[in-house]
């Protein structure tokens, strides 16, 4: 499996506080069958000290190098017009230096400029992925609002915890509908602790397999995410060639 959304890096957001806690998450992810994790700490346009994210990511990647899990870097970006000033820094905003950007909406809110921000990202060649829309109260009340973003080219990532009912029946049922209607491209852990893997991830895979079959579950947990990694390789190759 390939996990594109995990708060794995220690001491940078509301995820683990120590390196040992991060390593425990890696161990639990490996036990759950995860082969690659894209670590996605929260990114806000006003954040300072992104150097610490990179430093702690490098420490974690080094310590976990003997594990069977490859660790990549990305961000979970809060959708806000101000993020556009960082749009040229893809190594900061996008998943593993690919063209794919994982973003979230403010809790219980759809910004009035949301469609414009998405459009401007797409003009720059960025593919937006909406993180856990099933947990946004606005989309729960009116799924048509989410469909508008999907129709404009946004992809969808559903959380494993939502699928197994951690956030309640309504969110679970909404997650099921999004998956059964083929409106979801990715299932990810959104893990903040080891329990995000040991208690949620495998159960979510088993549940999705019951809903739509094992083949479709494999696409949601691995196949589509592999496309992101392949795109990242292409971008890295292009960057290398451009600097030769």
Which of the 8 DSSP states describes residue 68? S
Instruction: List Cβ<8 Å contacts ≥24 apart for 211-216.
Output: 211/176, 211/179, 211/180, 212/179, 212/180
Position 48 scores a pLDDT of 57
Position 49 scores a pLDDT of 64
Yes or no: say if 163 and 190 are a contact pair by the CB < 8 Å rule: no
CA gyration radius, the chain? 17
3-class secondary structure, 4: strand
Position 150 scores a pLDDT of 95
Position 110 scores a pLDDT of 87
Q: What is the pLDDT along the chain (244 residues), one digit of tens a residue?
A: 999 999 999 998 888 999 999 999 999 999 999 999 999 998 875 555 678 889 999 999 999 999 999 999 999 998 877 777 766 666 678 999 899 999 999 878 888 888 998 999 899 899 999 999 999 999 999 999 999 999 999 999 999 999 999 999 999 999 999 999 999 999 999 999 998 898 899 999 999 999 999 999 999 999 999 999 998 777 655 544 543 3
Q: Give 152-180 as a 3 state SS string.
A: CCCEEEEEHHHHCCCCCHHHHHHHHHHHH
Tokens (6 digits) for 51: 């150097």
Tokens (6 digits) for 84: 């556009």
Domains of the chain by residue range: 2-242
What's the first-to-final CA gap in the chain, in angstroms?
Answer: 34
Q: What does the alpha-carbon distance between residue 224 and residue 113 come to, in Å, rounded to a whole number?
A: 28
Q: What does the alpha-carbon distance between residue 171 and residue 13 come to, in Å, rounded to a whole number?
A: 25
Q: Is 141 exposed, middle or buried (0-12, 13-18, 19+ CB in 10 A)?
A: exposed
Residue 132 vs residues 51, 54, 61, 104, 128: alpha-carbon distances, Å? 27, 25, 26, 7, 13
Tokens 């190759």 sit on residue: 237
Which of the 8 DSSP states describes residue 106? P
3-class secondary structure, 40: coil
DSSP of 190-233, one letter per residue?
-BSSTHIIIIIIHHHHHHHHHHH-HHHHHIIIIIHHHHHHHHHH
Fold of 2-242: TIM Barrel (3.20.20)
Q: What does the alpha-carbon distance between residue 71 and residue 128 come to, in Å, rounded to a whole number?
A: 21
């Amino acid at each position: 499996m390939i996990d594109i959304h995990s708060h794995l890096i220690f001491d940078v957001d509301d995820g683990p506080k120590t390196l040992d806690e991060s390593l425990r998450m890696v161990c639990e992810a490996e036990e759950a069958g995860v082969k690659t994790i894209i670590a996605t700490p929260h990114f806000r346009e006003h954040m300072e000290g992104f150097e610490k994210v990179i430093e702690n990511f490098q420490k974690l990647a080094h310590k976990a190098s003997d594990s069977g899990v490859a660790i990549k870097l990305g961000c979970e970006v809060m959708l806000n017009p101000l993020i556009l000033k960082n749009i040229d820094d893809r190594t900061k905003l996008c998943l593993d230096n690919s063209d794919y950007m994982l973003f979230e909406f403010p809790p219980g809110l759809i910004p009035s400029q949301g469609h414009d921000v998405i459009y401007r990202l797409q003009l720059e060649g960025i593919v937006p992925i909406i993180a856990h829309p099933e947990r946004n109260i606005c989309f729960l009340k009116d799924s048509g609002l989410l469909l508008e973003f999907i129709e404009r080219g946004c992809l969808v990532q559903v959380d494993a915890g939502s699928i197994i009912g951690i956030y309640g029946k309504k969110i679970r049922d909404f997650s099921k509908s999004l998956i059964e209607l083929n409106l979801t491209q990715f299932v990810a852990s959104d893990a903040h602790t080891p329990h995000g893997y040991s208690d949620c991830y495998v159960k979510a895979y088993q549940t999705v397999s019951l809903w739509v079959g094992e083949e479709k579950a494999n696409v949601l947990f691995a196949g589509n995410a592999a496309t992101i990694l392949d795109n990242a390789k292409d971008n890295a190759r292009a960057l290398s060639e451009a600097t030769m």
